[in-house]
Structure 1
Amino acid sequence: MSPKQQRGEATADLLLTTALRVYAEAGQQGFTVNAVTAASGVSLGSLYHHFGSFDGLAAALYTRCMEELLEEIVSAVKRSRTARTGIRALVLAYLRFTEEHRDAALFLHASAYSGYLAAHAEEIRAAKAAKLSGLGEWLRSRIGAGEIVPMPPALIEVLVMGPVAEAARRWLASTYDDIDLTEAARILPDSIWRSLRPA
């Protein structure tokens, strides 16, 4: 990689890192192109060069946060020996990521339906599919072995991710005092497993 390419990657990384910090500190209202360029010291022209637009930067940040979460989840699942321990590992990895990477988790959960994602939906979908391919293989092998009830992968995702994502979202919102991640980690894995195990 040439020095120019290295500088370009460093600038893009600085913009993404700064954008996440700005979002965490200022919220959605304060998440603006001016705030990010001021905090990063990177010019507006450079931001547009690397990401095309502020929406492009936000979508790239969403993709980065999503990939980090999915990498942790898939890695945890692949180390598991049984379907049950794999589901437990997935739930615990998601909750652990939420707690340890609060800013990234906050951006993911608050951004999921933001308008700037629509224009980049295909890129985001492709990045998600690439990261989830390992999980899909693992699920198919467990279904084939009779360890998980046969159903479409999308429904398995809803059954597994839905409760965990909602628990994380409510904890991150901090307007709810009824969600404790430690309690969620104790209760959710077995509750979710019961919906997936064969009768």
Structure 2
Amino acid sequence: MSPKQHRGQVTAGILLDAALRVYGESGEQGLTVNAVTRASGVSLGSLYHHFGSIDGLVDALLMRWLERLLDETAAALRGADTAREGIGALVRAYLAFVREHRDAALLLHSSRADRVGMERAGELRDTQEARVSAFALWLEPRIAAGELAPLPPSLLESLVLGPVVGASRRWLTVGDIDLDEAARLLPDRIWRSVSAEPG
């Protein structure tokens, strides 16, 4: 990598970090070009050079943190020997990520993220194909072995992540959920919905 490319990566990282700070402090309405350039100390021209617009910056920020969340949950799955252990590890890793990276989790669970996800579903799926495939590859042998219910992987993923995403959103917005309690109780509840075992 040339020095110029390295400087460009550093500048882009500074802008992304500043955008997340601004988002955490002021929400989406406060996430403006002026606020980000002021918080980062980076020029307006550099922001447009690297991201094209404030929307391009926010999309890049979403992708940066989505990739990190997917990497952490995939690592949790890889460390599990059984399907039941994997479900528990995935739930705990997701909730730990939400607690440790509250501002990023707010952005990932925002209406903007939902909107971008719906508008760019195919593109996002293609971008994340390796990670999604890793989850599907983790599911398939456990379905074949009779550990998990014989359901399409996309439906199993919804059954596993739906309650975790819901609990995370509630903790982030309403604040009436105890994440430690959720990490303790949700794995068994979710396991019952995806296990191949009766009852």
TM interval, shorter chain, is: over 0.9
Identity of aligned residues (%): 59
Residue identity opposite 2:178 in structure 1: D
Residue 128 of structure 2 is aligned to residue 128 of structure 1: yes
1:69 corresponds in structure 2 to 69
SS of 1:112's partner is helix
2:93 corresponds in structure 1 to 93
**How far did residue 135 of structure 1 move?**
1.4
1:149 corresponds in structure 2 to 149
2:17 corresponds in structure 1 to 17
2:183 corresponds in structure 1 to 185
Alignment CA distance shift 1:122-1:149 (3 Å):
closer
Per-residue CA distance 1:39-74 (angstroms, 9 max, x = gap) = 111122211111122111111100111111111100
**How far did residue 118 of structure 1 move?**
6.2
**How far did residue 186 of structure 1 move?**
1.0
**How far did residue 146 of structure 1 move?**
1.3
Partners of 1:44 and 1:121 in 2: how far apart?
30
Partners of 2:19 and 2:121 in 1: how far apart?
20
4+ residue stretches of structure 1 with deviation over 3 A? 116-123
Partners of 2:128 and 2:58 in 1: how far apart?
16
1:196 corresponds in structure 2 to 194
Alignment of 1:24-103 (within 5 A): 24-103=24-103
Tell me whether 21-30 or 123-132 shows the greater mean CA deviation.
123-132
**TM-score, structure 1 normalization:** 0.93
**How far did residue 130 of structure 1 move?**
2.6
Equivalent residue pairs, number? 196
Per-residue CA distance 1:116-170 (angstroms, 9 max, x = gap) = 6666554433233232221111111111111101111111111011100010011
Partners of 1:123 and 1:163 in 2: how far apart?
25
Alignment CA distance shift 1:57-1:14 (3 Å):
same
Alignment CA distance shift 1:83-1:194 (3 Å):
same
Residue identity opposite 2:189 in structure 1: S
Partners of 1:122 and 1:16 in 2: how far apart?
24
SS of 1:146's partner is coil
Partners of 2:92 and 2:127 in 1: how far apart?
23
1:163 corresponds in structure 2 to 163
Residue identity opposite 2:169 in structure 1: R
Unaligned runs of 5+ in 2: none
SS of 2:128's partner is helix
Residue identity opposite 2:64 in structure 1: R
Alignment CA distance shift 1:107-1:10 (3 Å):
same
Partners of 2:5 and 2:106 in 1: how far apart?
31
For the aligned residue pairs, the C-alpha RMSD in angstroms reads 1.5
Residue identity opposite 2:145 in structure 1: A
Unaligned runs of 5+ in 1: none
